[in-house]
Structure 1
Amino acid sequence: MGDDAAVLRLSPRRWRILSFLAQHALASTMDAALVCDVSRLTAHRDLVWLHEAGLVSRQRSEEDRTHTWWYKATAEGTERLCRDLAASGRPVPLQLGRRHPSASDDLLFLPLVEVSRRNPGRCELFQWLATMDTSAWLRQHDLAYLRADGYGVWLEDGRCLRFLVHVDRGPVGEVVAEHEKRTYGLGGLLAGYRRTDPVVPVGAVLVVAEDAEREEQLLAGLVREPLRALIATTNRNMLYRHWPNEQLWRVPGEDEHRSRLIEIAG
């Protein structure tokens, strides 16, 4: 069913799913259902249709006991999406269809979307930029030397927080001595913010540390050498305990006190 006639019958929801896959690399049926605010069955039917049309591919791991299918846009799907965007006068995002999965999508983007769905009129993820789009946004603000994993605008109870997010990937990629694992890689995580160029136009810079020990080391370093930008930290274990809007973040120098996401900027 990969002919032009089939593609022309794409519904707005299927275009939205295809666009989501092209911008976020990989997604499950549950992710697509969440983003489109439909049932899992409806999302499954749309993904199967897109797969049969040759616009998305799918894969699953032999080691995954849940047998979850993971979908991504194919070259044909990406090309048709780019063509549709160009024809309607909309910009084509950078590296569309060729992006790598981002930890910030799973840790913040999708959970915040779900909170928005559960609390209509009270909470809303008003804007989210994936890693590549965040880089373009930073360049527009003369901050090309920064490397953030995402940018978001969160609304809650009439208040607004604009934020950048960085995800600590831990001491990976090289052989690291046991005693260095607490601090390895933390020095470069926020190195760009130590420049005295323009102030970052966000209310807070969020950092998700790999674990509690690395979060403590990061906070200690920020107390010794403060940054102009407001930094707020948490760790992966903490994020998994709460909904992200109820997640408690720490600011350097405030001891054990933690603030909710919307409260960070005061």
Structure 2
Amino acid sequence: MAEHGELYTEQVTEFLFSSRPAASRHLTALTRAGLVRRPVYESDRSHQAHYELTGEGIRALADHLRSTGRPVPVALGSLISDHHIVTPFRVGLTAASREGDRGCLYQWMRALDAVARLRARGISHVNPRAYGVWIEGGVAVKFLPHVDNGEPGPISGTPAPPPSRALAGYRQAGKGVLGTAILVITNMDGRESALLRELAEAPLEVAVAATTTDRLGAASSAADAIWLVAGSATKAPVRLVDVPLH
């Protein structure tokens, strides 16, 4: 909750506990202590329990981090952008890591920290939703996930810009791009094919792969074969670990 802003019980279970009852007990205790709240949304038909930190919970966590000599992240407890896509993305990789015969989510960095590291490399005007390292079969993939909403201009209603424009900042990479794969999740018809076509014509120096929210939602995790790689001779979706190889 400190990193994502809001989590379901099932998501808390995947991150921290071995069972849903254990997660429920801890969440109930935190709620009674006033450190966590459970908001209710009239429009939510899933009937899932949502939890987020209260102001008191954020202050208590910040005090604990300071007392142990650890930095307090910026915007602690704030809801992350595109949380409905990014949080399940991370949860799925975390669950896959626990299977034992798959790979391992070795590192995960929040969007604010990822952007700061990119700027240190001279890369600006890009908005990755995180930075992560997935290791599978002895191969480490350093990935930067992006979400393409394909939305028109908020005031003018003008058409959405070409999907590759959001990645143009990576062409400034004088010190190299932080990752070995840029992952783009699209949620509107035609945006995925447009992105792949544009990057085939003007590729980046780093591998770019795309998937749709439908394919991501149907997969057990983002590690599965759901990614289409821009400029690749392979037209079938590939696994996350194979993206930099195409």
Name the TM-score, length of structure 1 as normaliser: 0.82
Write the distance in 1 (CA, Å) between the matches of 2:26 and 2:162: 41
Of 146, 159, 162, 2:142 maps to 162
Q: Tell me what 2:91 maps to.
A: 110
Q: Which segment is superposed worse, 56-65 or 26-35? A: 56-65
- Contact between 2:118 and 2:178, CA under 8 Å: does it hold in 1? no
Q: Cα–Cα, structure 1 residues 120 and 187, in superposed 2: closer, same or farther, change >3 Å? A: closer
Counterparts of 1:227 and 1:157, CA distance in 2: 26
Match of 2:224 in 1: 246
Partner AA of 1:247 in structure 2: A
SS in 2 for 1:154: strand
Q: Secondary structure at the match of 1:76?
A: helix
Deviation at 1:124, TM superposition (A): 1.1
RMSD after superposition? 2.1
Question: 3-state DSSP class of the match of 2:227?
Answer: strand
Structure 1 stretches lacking a partner, 5+ long? 1-20
The corresponding residue for 1:18 is none
Q: 1:163 to 1:139 in 2, by over 3 A?
A: same
Q: Distance in 2 between matches of 1:59 and 1:51?
A: 11
Deviation at 1:146, TM superposition (A): 3.0
1:39 Cα deviation from its structure 2 partner? 1.2
Please say if 1:45 is aligned against 2:25: yes
8 Å CA contact 1:234–1:249 kept in 2: the answer is yes
CA distance in 2, matches of 1:52, 1:141: 45
Tell me the CA shift for residue 51 of structure 1. Answer: 0.9
Q: With structure 2 as the length reference, what TM-score do the two structures score?
A: 0.88
Greater mean alpha carbon deviation, residues 136-145 or residues 45-54: 136-145
The structural deviation recorded for 1:194 is 2.7
Match of 2:213 in 1: 236
**For the structure 1 residues 139 and 99, does the alpha-carbon distance in structure 2 shift closer, same or farther, using more than 3 Å as the test?**
farther
Rounded to whole Å, the distance in 2 between the matches of 1:91 and 1:140 is: 19
CA contact (8 A) 1:138 1:144 kept: yes
Comparing 58-67 with 136-145, greater Cα deviation is found at: 136-145
Where structure 2 has 5 or more consecutive residues not aligned to the other structure, the ranges are none
Q: Please give the alpha-carbon distance, in whole angstroms, between the structure 2 residues aligned to 1:152 and 1:103.
A: 18
| Alignment match, 1:89 | 69
Q: Secondary structure at the match of 2:210?
A: strand
Give the number of aligned pairs: 241
> Pairwise mapping of residues 1-266 of structure 1 onto structure 2 (< 5 A)?
21-101=1-81, 102-117=83-98, 119-120=99-100, 122-172=102-152, 173-174=154-155, 176=157, 180=159, 184=161, 186-243=163-220, 244-254=222-232, 256-266=235-245
Cα contact 1:107–1:239 (8 A) shared by 2: no
Measure, in 1, the Cα distance between the counterparts of 2:30 and 2:88: 27
Change (3 A) 1:122 1:85: same
Which deviates more, 252-261 or 76-85?
252-261
SS at match of 1:222: helix
* CA displacement 1:196-255 (0-9 Å, x = unmatched): 532103111111112451100111111222212221111111212222211331222225
Aligned AA (1:84): H
d(CA) in 2 for partners of 1:184, 1:215: 13
> Contact (CA 8 Å) 2:126, 2:166: kept in 1 or not?
no
Give the Cα–Cα distance (whole angstroms) in 1 for the partners of residues 169 and 175 of structure 2.
Answer: 11
**Kept in 2: contact 1:103–1:167 (CA 8 A):** no
Whether the aligned pair in 2 keeps the contact of 1:29 and 1:44 (CA below 8 Å) is yes
Query: Is contact 1:171–1:185 with CA below 8 Å preserved after alignment?
Result: no
Give the greater-gyration-radius structure (CA).
Answer: 1
- Using the alignment, how far apart are the partners of 2:181 and 2:197 within structure 1? 18
The answer to whether the 8 A contact 2:121-2:176 is kept is no
